[in-house]
């Protein structure tokens, strides 16, 4: 190990701190980008869905854009999704964890096609957020009913 490796290897990056609104947005962005691609249409869809919730009621388009830029910036450093998810999880109350799962599920199933990666992400998400499997199933069932029409 060289001198530079020694210095860089011991340097720690500060843990990102997120507000509850940033945490919900981070989880939804991560789910939507699970296929490795986040289109402008995806971002608009996320912003529209989030703007309907209490957490984002007072967010302007500019504020939402800055929020997404912050989250995407965090994704690009550290260990990406794990780093961001850890910060998001710590910022959410149990009630907001349930809301984040519901919003994320809605965004994932909205296009009518749920990939294996998206299914795995949602399975991992409800468990990581500490949501019971019964409640997670209920949330998914309601979201599927909502998206029928």
**Which CATH architecture group holds 17-146?**
Orthogonal Bundle (1.10)
pTM score over 0.85: no
Is 140 or 34 the better-scoring residue by pLDDT?
A: 140
- Model confidence at 9: pLDDT above 60: no
DSSP class of 52:
T
Highest mean pLDDT among 5-9, 47-51, 77-81: 47-51
Give per-residue pLDDT as tens, 62-114: 999 999 988 888 877 766 777 788 888 889 999 999 999 999 999 998 888 88
**pLDDT score of 113:** 84
Q: For 43, left (φ over 0), alpha (ψ -120 to 50), or beta?
A: alpha
What confidence category does residue 143 fall into, taking pLDDT thresholds of 50, 70 and 90? very high
pLDDT at position 7: 39
């Amino acid at each position: 190990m060289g001198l530079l490796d020694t210095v860089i290897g011991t340097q720690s990056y500060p843990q990102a701190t997120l507000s509850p609104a940033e945490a919900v947005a981070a989880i939804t962005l991560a789910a939507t980008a699970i296929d490795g691609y986040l289109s402008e249409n995806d971002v608009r869809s996320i912003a529209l869905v989030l703007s309907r919730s209490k957490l984002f009621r007072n967010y302007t388009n500019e504020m939402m854009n800055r929020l997404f830029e912050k989250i995407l910036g965090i994704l690009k450093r550290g260990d990406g999704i794990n780093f961001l998810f850890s910060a998001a999880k710590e910022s959410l109350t149990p009630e907001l964890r349930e809301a984040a799962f519901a919003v994320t599920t809605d965004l994932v199933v909205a296009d009518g096609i749920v990939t294996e990666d998206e299914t795995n992400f949602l399975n991992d998400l409800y468990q990581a957020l500490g949501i019971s499997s019964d409640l997670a199933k209920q949330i998914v069932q309601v979201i599927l009913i909502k998206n029928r029409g």
